[in-house]
Amino acid sequence: MKRYLGCMFFALMVLLCGCGRDVPGEGGDRGKEGPWQRVDTAMGTVIQQTVYGAQETAELFSEDVMEMLYQMEREELSWRLDTSQVYRINRSAGLEEGCALSEELAGLLEACQELSVRSEGAFDVTLGRLTSLWNIDQWSTEENMTQFQIPSGKELEAAVESCGSSKMKIVRNAESAGTEPDSGRARIWLPEGMRLDLGAVGKGLALSRISRLLEEREEMGGAVISLGGSVLTYGVKPDGSPWKVGIVDPADPSSHLGILTLEGQWCVSTSGDYERYVEADGVRYHHILDPATGYPAQSGVGGVTVLVKDGLLSDGLSTACFILGPEQGMELAEAYGAETLFVMQDGSIRMSEGMETYFSR
Ligand code: ADP
Ligand code: MG
């Protein structure tokens, strides 16, 4: 139930994107250009696509997007499916020979490693043992909500010990090309006990790939595509008006406290304590963990939105900024050329100077 509430909040976030009609092809010439809308689920979240262009081209595009997302989950990112690279990498932890991986995934993990260094360890995709200890991906079901038990201090300590992006070793152009599926010239070694969890960047990576797909299809006019808390805007609407992306109010996630007005291609990611959480003994635990303590991060942030051209950066930075809080977070994002908007738990708003151009109440 909670998951569906969360999904509704995300859907609401993009309702403001200027997609007034949901009946495709209605009335006049403009109807021939859309908007065409489609809603699915993938990567554990709601995928909402609004695309402009000729109907057949648009529908084919939306279908291809979904196929790409399913494939990413199945073959690259899932830590549950034994068909994915992340699953195989996790299983190889501690092995002397390590594990082969695609060049693209190696590049993604290197970027994550860099973000980990620059965020002083706040962002860390090697915290898979911590996220499974908290059982985050099971929080969505009502049954598990009532059965939830906080991990013990000892368990958390051991899981914290297993984390640390600097302990993950990646080699590009490895001498011994692997024989495993997907093996390119890259290899990775995880120490025993370490597990990857790419939940903080998977959707962002997908946004960048969708953006590339749009570039290849010149006949597509424009699109706004939301994968849960990460949104891609692309191109132009037939009437030339800008995209509008709503910023959810963490204190009341069914409403917005403002909008971003954007032109052309952007990636907007939000990380918030209201997106996924569980309650035990009257205490609420959310899904963004501080790798230093093993507990949900306590930075006073209710939600943080990052605006930048690249999806991996918007998604990764929003998670990092949530943990770091506004001072350190803004500095980090600025170093990556990204704009930030922090909504604090006390309701106050802090934003980077550049964000003021796009945000309005
Ligand atoms: P969402 O996935 O809900 O959009 P985020 O992008 O902020 O939100 O990612 C949160 C997910 O990232 C968690 O569910 C978990 O899988 C993973 N995660 C939690 N804490 C961290 C962290 N400190 N560094 C990297 N990944 C994290
Ligand atoms: Mg993220």
Helix, strand, coil percent content, the chain, rounded in steps of 5: 40, 25, 35
Cα 124 to chain centroid distance, Å, stands at 14
Average pLDDT for 184-205: 94
Give me the sign of the Cα torsion angle 266, 117, 205, 217.
Answer: positive
Q: Is pLDDT of 115 > 90?
A: yes
Average pLDDT for 114-139: 94
| Any atom of ligand 1 within 6 Å of the Cβ of 311 | no
Ligand nearest to the CA of 275: 1
Q: Is pLDDT of 252 > 80?
A: yes
Choice among 7-16, 105-114, 154-163, 314-323 with the minimum mean pLDDT:
7-16
Tokens of 337: 């050329």
Helices (H), the chain: 2-15, 55-72, 85-91, 103-118, 128-134, 142-147, 153-162, 202-216, 311-324, 326-335
Residue 141: pLDDT band with limits 50, 70, 90: low
Average pLDDT for 74-81: 94
Cα 305 to averaged position of ligand 2 atoms, centre (Å): 10
Ligand nearest to the CA of 119: 1
Other beta carbons within 10 angstroms of residue 264's beta carbon come to: 12
pTM greater than 0.85: yes
Per-residue model confidence (pLDDT) at position 144: 58
Q: What is the mean pLDDT of the chain?
A: 88
Q: What is the largest CA-CA distance in the chain?
A: 66
Cis peptide before 326 (omega within 30 of 0): no
Cα 324 to averaged position of ligand 1 atoms, centre (Å): 13
Angle 311-324/103-118 helices, nearest 10 degrees? 30
Residue 181: pLDDT band with limits 50, 70, 90: low
Q: Which of 133, 287, 324, 342 to mutate to test the pocket of ligand 1 (most atoms within 8 A of CB)?
A: 287
Per-residue model confidence (pLDDT) at position 298: 95
Ligand 1, atom 10, lies closest to the CA of 200
- The per-residue pLDDT for range 23-64, each reduced to its tens digit, is 344 434 445 788 999 999 999 899 999 999 999 999 999 999
| Any atom of ligand 1 within 6 Å of the Cβ of 137 | no
Per-residue model confidence (pLDDT) at position 146: 67
- Of ligand 1's listed atoms, the one at least distance from the Cα of 271 is 7
Average pLDDT for 203-220: 95
Q: Which of 304, 319, 322, 340 to mutate to test the pocket of ligand 1 (most atoms within 8 A of CB)?
A: 319
Per-residue model confidence (pLDDT) at position 185: 82
Between 80 and 145, the more confident residue is 80
Give me the sign of the Cα torsion angle 199, 12, 262, 71.
Answer: positive
Choice among 17-26, 155-164, 197-206, 340-349 with the minimum mean pLDDT:
17-26
- The per-residue pLDDT for range 79-91, each reduced to its tens digit, is 999 999 999 999 9
- Of ligand 1's listed atoms, the one at least distance from the Cα of 228 is 4
% of the chain beyond a pLDDT of 70: 86
